[in-house]
Amino acid sequence: MAGKSVTVFALVVLVLAAMPYATSESNLFVLMDVLIAILFATAYNLVLGQTGLLSFGHAAYFGLGAYTVALLQGHLGLPMLVGIAFGPFVAGFFAMLVALLTVRLSGMYFAMLTLAFAQLIYTIIAEWYSFTGGDNGLPVTVPDYFFVTTHYFYLTLGIVAASVFLLWLIVNSPFGVALLAIRENPQRASFVGLNVKLYQVAAFTISGAFSGLAGALSGSLHQMAFPSMLYWTESAQPVLMALAGGIHTFFGPAVGAAIFTILNFYVASYSGYPLLIFGIVVLLLVMFLPEGVVGTLRHWVSRSRKNGPEAVKETAPADAGAGRGTRA
Amino acid sequence: MSAPILEFDGVSKTFGGFRAVSEIKISLQKGEILAVIGPNGAGKSTLLNMGSGALRPTTGDVRHEGTSIVGYSANRLVHRGIARSFQITSIFPRMTVTENVRIALMARRGRCRHFLRPAHRLLNSEVDELLAQVRMQGARNRLAGQLAAGDRKRLEFAIALAGTPSVLLLDEPTAGMSGDERALVVDVLKEVNHRLGLSILFTEHDIDMVFALAQRIAVMHQGALIAEGAPESVRADPRVREVYLGKSHSA
């Protein structure tokens, strides 16, 4: 099982690595947005699917990553790559602060408070003209070498692939299983000896850090950090991507991110309402595929493979899981 | 005599104006099986909650091997060796039986801070040992949430026994079980008590179970302790017969 995931993952990375030879430059740009969204959604799901916490403020950590690159460059003259390296630390630090103040709350209160803190960070960045440039945004200068699309594409692919692999290792580690146990039953988790709040803070911090890394890549790709990257409507994106792909699967949010970003690109080219279209798509997915695209596929595969009394056993968690996951 | 392994010293708990537990003084000796019985609402679960870190007593002291543990969190007490089961069975429903026991073992050993090595190969032989102890080897790969009530309860024992605690606090360990399962639970508990020297404090409604297992019995009524002693003397106590045993065992 684990070996097979690694093989598929490696194959996908290889296919993506061949893309500069197979497709146009404009498609490469879309693909880079897809890769960044994949990292963002996968990082986000460490909190939602794995730990069972519904965060509604992850745009803040994404945006902080982008601003780290722009601010380090604008104020200290540090190169883009240094900014990208610092992005996850800055975003992770703020995520940790927010988590320390919010994890004692549960469910809706937690979601609302993460939203409130994200809006606070957004407001500071949008209003502090002398430091952040306010709503004009802050430019990122890309060094000549990475100005070549293919070069930046490989940088993005390398960082995203390594990060997703790292997240995969984390999810399957004892720490990841502890997060799962906390999602399943926080009471029992603390009575087997886990410090539930500490683990929740750790998960939130790691998730925020990788979201920041995605944001740093995004800011560098678009050569700009904008306050709107942190706005609360942006926080809906990883939630929708994760839900569309399946929050109880590791690769579901990545698939959701790809669907979301590609759909967004083509719909935005033909109509002015990409979010409306995607809202309808997610609505249909949640109604008819409550476990998401990947979650549903997995159940089909295991059902057709076993095709016997085992099949019944395999479908039950799908039913049980329909309304779950977001329990905090 | 050495300090009792768990000691409630004049412990009270009030919720708003309601006094759920009042001035309880009782101790669990090392290696002992103590039953706390009493009608519904007598304060048995509240007492257990105060012994396991789930609730903080309003007044009084709780000591583990002579050290006050008031204000300790539940997870900290687990690492001191105090494990428990719940009246409403508390397990990880969407994880397999094996994974349920493994996470308990990993947590107890402090191994959950490892971020990058795979968990699924860890501690398998110890997981099997624990499952064998509660006779559940056959259900290894089943999802915990799909087990029958009695099996879930046994899985919860395996979780509680992970990492060999020194004190087991069990809240109605056989609630909802069949007669056969009850007998099995009695056997398992006697065995861990005898073989590992585990001290056990349990609450129970089933009187046969209480007399089959307990070496000493404490009787609670409306938050207070009304009798305590060897099973025979408690059975003979007229006040106990009046408030509790009398109702079901007068015939």
- Is residue A88 scored above 90 in pLDDT? yes
Tally the C-alpha atoms within 13 A of residue A66's C-alpha that lie toward its C-beta: 28
The helix or strand, by DSSP H or E, that contains position A315, with its residue range, turns out to be helix A309-321
pLDDT of residue A175: 95
Band (pLDDT 50/70/90 cuts) for residue A294 is confident
Ramachandran bin of B212, using left for φ above 0, alpha for ψ from -120 to 50, beta for the remaining angles? alpha
Residue with tokens 């979780």: B159
Residue B85: CB atoms within 10 A of its CB come to: 25
Rounded Cα gap, residues A111 and A105, in angstroms: 9
CA distance A221 to chain B (A): 30
- Is residue A318 scored above 50 in pLDDT? no
Rounded Cα gap, residues B183 and A161, in angstroms: 55
pLDDT tens digits along A11-45: 999 999 999 999 998 999 999 999 999 999 999 99
pLDDT of residue B240: 84
- Is residue A159 scored above 70 in pLDDT? yes
pLDDT of residue A190: 94
Closest CA to A38 of A214, A256, A254: A254
Residues of B in contact with A314 (CB under 8 A): none
Band (pLDDT 50/70/90 cuts) for residue A324 is very low
Mean pLDDT computed over B104-115 = 87
Interface of A with B in 286-325 (CB under 8 A): 313, 316-317, 320-321, 324
SS3 B62: strand
Structural contact between residues A192 and B107, judged by C-beta atoms closer than 8 angstroms: yes
- Is residue B246 scored above 80 in pLDDT? no
Interface of B with A in 86-125 (CB under 8 A): 86, 90-95, 99, 102-104, 106-108, 111-120, 122
- Is residue A312 scored above 50 in pLDDT? no
Residues of A in contact with B78 (CB under 8 A): 190-193
Residues of B in contact with A192 (CB under 8 A): 78, 103-104, 107-108, 159, 162
Q: Is the ipTM of this complex over 0.85?
A: yes
Band (pLDDT 50/70/90 cuts) for residue B7 is very high
